[in-house]
Amino acid sequence: LPDTLIDFNSIDSKPLEFQTALVAPPKVVKAGLPKLKRDVSLGILEFSEDQGLPGYRVTAMMQDSHGMLWIATDKGLCRFNGEYLEIYTFIEAVFTGSIAEVSSMLEDQKGRIWIYSQGGIYILDHVTGLVAKIKGSANFNNTKCDLLVDHRGLIWQGTAQDGLFIIDPEQETLRHVAQLHKDDAGNTKKLIEDEEGNIWVGSPTGLSIVNYETGKVRYLDDQNGLPANQVKGLFQDRNN
């Protein structure tokens, strides 16, 4: 497919609306020591419910700028400092004992934690003690989709069929790009930013490379470089 051009600055911006609440004090649990995993040939250690995690199925993890490890499971969100787990309960429950699945988490330039879940996008601010949920964000098809903060501070939200959403946290606005090219079916699940500021967008139909400044979108598939069309993950190492 030929390259496409998108004037991101001309896309209509819609104001964000928030539902804001005080964060309830987290439950604090002293974590147990990891244990050796059974029936494996290598020395693999387990850190699960026996060590204090709220649930055994981990869906997302991140480390913030203070070195804290954030872990989302099927039953809760926690922050781990190496000794204690702080377990938070503000994420909407989908049924008794289980929260909406968290797909991705990030820390923005103000140190706030953004949590992208099936129940919507939450923004946790430790300084103010508030958590805000973006109204309407639960309507996005976001199972196993990425959330990315770029070097400008913009938040890029991938979806399975609704295209890209670009959030400006400073202006509190949202822009929507329904498709990057005509054959992507609105799938923008996997996101990463390279050292030049390009946004790489992976989908089942190929890979789009977005230059936000020029609006140029380059497309790669199995006809021009990829071994296969389906992109399931993106990662940049320290050398490339």
Q: Residue 120: enclosing H or E segment and its boundaries?
A: strand 120-125
Predicted local confidence at residue 1, as pLDDT:
59
Q: Please name the amino acid found at residue 227.
A: P
- Tens digit of pLDDT for each residue in 8-58? 999 999 999 999 999 999 999 999 999 888 877 777 889 999 999 998 899
Phi/psi of residue 50, nearest 5 degrees:
-65, -25
Predicted local confidence at residue 38, as pLDDT:
82
**Stretches in the chain below the pLDDT threshold 50:** none
C-alpha dist (Å) from residue 203 to 60, 79, 139, 145, 147: 19, 31, 20, 10, 14
Predicted local confidence at residue 3, as pLDDT:
85
Helix/strand/coil (H/E/C) assignment for every residue in 23-45? CCCCEEEECCCCEECCCCCCCCE
Predicted local confidence at residue 96, as pLDDT:
64
* CA 91 remoteness from chain centre: 15
